[in-house]
Amino acid sequence: MVKEVGIGAGIGVLIILALKGFNILPVIFFGFLVFFLWQMLSPSLSISSQTGIKEGNKKIPHVKFDDIGGQETAKNELIEALNFVKNLDRIKYMGIRPIKGILLSGPPGTGKTMLAKASARYTDSVFKATSGSEFIEMYAGLGAKRVRQLFKEARQSAKKYGKSSAIVFIDEIDVVGGKRGQVTSHLEYDQTLNQLLVEMDGLSVDDEVQILVMATTNRIDILDPALLRPGRFDRIVQVDLPAKEGRLSILKIHTSNKPLAEEVNLEQIARETFGFSGAHLENLTNEAAIMAMRGNEDQIHQKHFLEAIDKVIMGEKLDRRPGKEELKRIAVHETGHALVGEKFCPGSVSAITITSRGKALGYVRHNPRDDMYLQTRDYIEKQIGISIAGAIAEDILLNDRSTGATNDFKKAVKLANKMVASGMTDLGVVEESTVPKQLLHEERTKIFKKVEKKVRNIINNNKEIMEKITRKLVEEERFSGDELRRLLNN
């Protein structure tokens, strides 16, 4: 109000001076110069408010919970907490302290920011968003000032748009929420965190505007304990990588605006993308559409999705092509992985390729029939066998080994160490770090010899199939898991 009165008075004075014959051009120029310098030097908080509905609720994002797939558990937990914001009169009557903060924790690309936006839409709240990095600068006290300004602007925006609640969203809060005392040369981090704690402590159920703080992190282990105690971030919602059903729902969302061919099997794609986040799956559907357009096709086919999976995992195809002898060795190596993988885990091999991608000269894509979260001794031994199968195939069919198995051996050693740490060996229950190196080496060697014997038997009994697949790989660079299973069944 004061600002508007001042501007009006200034314009009035300029009009009176002009009527009296004064030259007001220098005054106008000087005024614009002062205003420009003030805007440039003012340390105001730059908050990236998310764009929302153009008419009416301008500060409320478009995203709804229905637009987010694969996170049913996280959505249900969020909705339960958000109902406290929606039913304010009821929680006052019951004497319930309002939830002040919700922390979304999980790997990158799992939809944490989208969940925060959907929360604002669900509660009809103004959405003020910023990131942890925007608070910190070299000037002492500036971060704390920006925290105060953030909460102040959230309240003002809610009043402006006639809303009774606002969500303050801080992305990557670990930048300012790390454990205090770790950065001894720069107390700006601690001061900023202290101000955030003070602001959250001041939130009350009797406030004119109810403010809910939401934040995201994928490093919850480094956050200060004061942030995580009840009364600050009351709810910690784990946003994990989606399971198979979740991946299927995400694929359906991201392919709803794309022309799919009839043979496209989204359930198979969901099964073959174990470990993919929502961001990976969105990128997968986008890459499949790009490949279809590149081939001048009007529809996206299953082959485009399978090719896109390889690209998302391994990277783009490389122009380099190894020589004939080296190509044959790569084919033998990858066929060894695939054959033993199929014998140990029937139906798990999706494709074998010797096309160079990223740093890999060849690649076998294994897909579990179901997502696994616990691993048995038998399962780990089979994974060790699949890892060393490439080197053993080279040894049997080519009478020599190569450096191509280096990463395979590193993986096998890690798996053997996991067996020791999990009490799956003759050592019993031990602390891996306290086991003498020689004893650990002997135990790993025992595991490798046992597994290698099984792998050698499989490859020796299937030499003809190995050679047939190798020849076809050298000619066509790709061999499907279905073709491999047909050969083994015959």
The residues annotated as belonging to the active site are 334
- Rg, C-alpha atoms of the chain: 30
What DSSP string describes 181-228?
TS-TT-THHHHHHHHHHHHHHT--TT-SSEEEEEEEES-GGGB-HHHH
Q: Are 250 and 278 in contact (CB under 8 A)?
A: yes
What DSSP string describes 221-290?
GGB-HHHHSTTTS-EEEE-PPP-HHHHHHHHHHHTTTS-B-TT--HHHHHHTTTT--HHHHHHHHHHHHH
Helix axes 463-476, 481-489, angle to 10 degrees: 150
Query: Which H or E run contains 170?
Result: strand 165-171
Cα-to-chain-centroid distance, residue 448:
35
Edge-to-edge order in the sheet of strand 363-366: 363-366, 349-353, 478-480
Cα separations in angstroms, 402 against 325, 330, 408, 409, 474: 12, 10, 12, 12, 18
Q: Are 440 and 422 in contact (CB under 8 A)?
A: no
CA atoms of 217 and 176, how far apart (whole Å): 11
CA atoms of 123 and 167, how far apart (whole Å): 9
Residue 358 zone, left/alpha/beta (φ > 0; ψ -120 to 50; rest): left
